Amino acid sequence: MNKRVTIFTVGLVCASSVAIAQQPIPFPQPIISEVLFHVPNDESGDADGDGVRSAVGDEFVELFNPHDAAIDLAGVVITSRRADPLNPGSKKGVSFVFPSVELAPGQCAVVFNGLDSSMDGPVGSSLRAPDSGNPAFGDALVFSMGNRSQGRAFANSGDFVLLSVAGGSAPLECVVWGSPKEKPPAGTVRLFEAGKRPGGSVVRVGDGGDGVFLACVGIEGVAASPGVRGEE
């Protein structure tokens, strides 16, 4: 797997000014590590690498395994504010349910929206896992939601990404931006805020429960880095 070294830059945060507490994440929970909800207007917005920038299709959510042992993602659910995690087949918002697949220690799983997308390499769906990691994305496990509607997308002005387990009945983490009308469900274990217009994706700094989400372009120098996560 590719590794990235996070470099803090002036204008966002400097290494001496932020201390990220590493509150341990209980095994076998994954964590949200990167979200692209506001796709850049230029070619840097082609996050899925199919040669076409799509305001919807290039959106993605990245999960990461921070543990020393593999975890099974079966039944892990990703939803937006308008989707029902207990009814992922509904026609509202963004939703994805992982099939049974092992995520290795330090490995990422990247779920693209998938509208009009034609990604190369192994790509899975909610029905089946990819055959292997995708070398175009740091050997991450790559999935597509397979969306077919422009309306099945994140709202740039205000929305959230919710990570749940146990088929959606146990909300673990939520990354919120803007001022969405719907609030994260009560009982969500960890809540994070992200900038409303980050100029690309937001990435998690710190793999513990007290991490923060910052603009990828400010700490990586690129608009997004799906599948490539390193040591902060």
Condensed to tens digits (0 to 9), the pLDDT of residues 179-193 reads 998 999 999 999 999
Q: What is the pLDDT of residue 230?
A: 52
* Whole-number Å distance between alpha carbons of 185 and 28: 21
Q: What is the pLDDT of residue 33?
A: 98
CATH superfamily for 31-219 is Lamin Tail domain (2.60.40.1260)
Asked whether the predicted pLDDT for residue 6 surpasses 50, the reply is: no
Q: Hey, CA dihedral for 180, 183, 188, 193, is it positive or negative? A: positive
What the block records as the tokens of 151 is 């309306």
* Whole-number Å distance between alpha carbons of 48 and 50: 6
Show me where the domains of the chain are located.
31-219
Q: How many CA atoms lie within 13 A of 38 on its CB side?
A: 19
* Cα–Cα distances in angstroms (integers) from residue 50 to residues 97, 120, 131, 182, 188, in the given order: 23, 7, 19, 33, 35
* DSSP 3-state of 48: coil
Q: What is the pLDDT of residue 12?
A: 31
Full-model pTM = 0.89
What integer is the mean pLDDT of 147-161? Answer: 92
Q: What is the pLDDT of residue 153?
A: 94
Asked whether the predicted pLDDT for residue 17 surpasses 60, the reply is: no
Q: Where are the alpha helices (DSSP H) in the chain?
A: 216-219
